Amino acid sequence: MDEVFRALADPTRRSLLDELFREDGQTLSTLEQRLPMTRFGVMKHLRVLEQAGLVVTKRRGREKLHFLNPVPIRLAHDRWVSKYAEPWAAMLSGLKRGLEEAVMEKVFEIYIKTTPERLWKAITDPEMRRKYNFGLIVTSDWTTGSHYEGCTPNITVREGKHPDAEKAPKMQSTWASNTPILEGENVLVDPPRRLVQTFRALWSDAARAEGTSRVTWEIEPVGDSCRLLVTHDQLREDANAELYGGWMMILSGLKTLLETGELLTTPGSLRWAAAQTAA
């Protein structure tokens, strides 16, 4: 977390993040043209952002593309905003706007102190996954070419309020039990290293109209921890942000569950807590 704060303290590095907010997946040459500094200077600042986990690079042919990784920002938000709401909320407001912009490809990186096998189980086991994936029950036989589906649990959400009204807004929708929320095909299943899936959102007419995109989970052991890289791509230009806006909460919850055994309180988890209270 110290590296994240140090990276954000420099105005030039914040400008680089702003550029990636506006257009994700840029080359060094493109970023250099947009900042009043030398190529070497841009490289130095990008290196600091990469070390802090705020920027992730991916090779595409001969090009090296730079992507914003919002997960550390989410972790900083979860750790500090509730305690020092005003100053941190003001500083992060620009980042929030950037996260809500639709792009063709989103890349998320997070490090979790766990084993590849345990991380793979947390992704594919319905009981573990529902604890950090907004209560959804995700089922499949997890073989290449198989179907997977995410459904609501056996509850019905009635219109009402969570007991703690300050933490959860009034619920407006009613779900039938086991309503399908998302579905897709497991294009590649390679435990415990790589999972490639098509992704189709079903939770609203607007999300359903976006059609099919792709999600790739990549697990890499690093010492006693794992680097998890989630790439959500093949998104329509100006795609509805509902499709990818929840990844920061999901991955933050996954990290918290595996490292502490606790459930992370997020807007998504509060919604499902409210649902169970109303059932």
CATH number for 149 = 3.30.530.20
Tell whether 152 and 219 lie within a shared domain.
yes
Tell whether 24 and 93 lie within a shared domain.
yes
Does 150 score more than 60 pLDDT? yes
pLDDT at 156 (0 to 100):
45
Tell whether 160 and 246 lie within a shared domain.
yes
**Alpha-carbon separation of residue 91 from 3, 52, 53, 96 (angstroms):** 16, 17, 18, 10
Domain boundary among 81, 101, 121: 101
49 vs 1, which has greater pLDDT?
Answer: 49
Tell whether 173 and 260 lie within a shared domain.
yes
Tell whether 203 and 265 lie within a shared domain.
yes
Tell whether 120 and 9 lie within a shared domain.
no
- Residue range of the domain that includes 74: 2-101
> What mean pLDDT value characterizes the chain?
82
Does 39 score more than 50 pLDDT? yes
Going by pLDDT thresholds of 50, 70 and 90, the confidence category of residue 200 is: very high
Tell whether 269 and 174 lie within a shared domain.
yes
* Domains contained in the chain, number: 2
Tell whether 66 and 151 lie within a shared domain.
no
Tell whether 237 and 261 lie within a shared domain.
yes
Tell whether 202 and 263 lie within a shared domain.
yes
Average pLDDT over residues 66-76: 82
Domain boundary among 42, 70, 101: 101
Does 277 score more than 60 pLDDT? no
Q: What is the pLDDT of residues 101-130, one digit of tens each?
A: 444 688 999 999 999 999 999 999 999 999
The lowest-confidence range among 75-89, 127-141, 175-189 is 75-89
Give the percent of the chain with pLDDT over 90. Answer: 46
Tell whether 150 and 201 lie within a shared domain.
yes
Amino acid at 245: G
> What is the Cα gyration radius of the chain?
19
pTM value is 0.60
Categorise residue 215: left if φ over 0, alpha if ψ from -120 to 50, beta otherwise.
Answer: beta
Tell whether 80 and 155 lie within a shared domain.
no
Domain boundary among 61, 77, 101: 101
Average pLDDT over residues 211-222: 95
pLDDT at 82 (0 to 100):
53
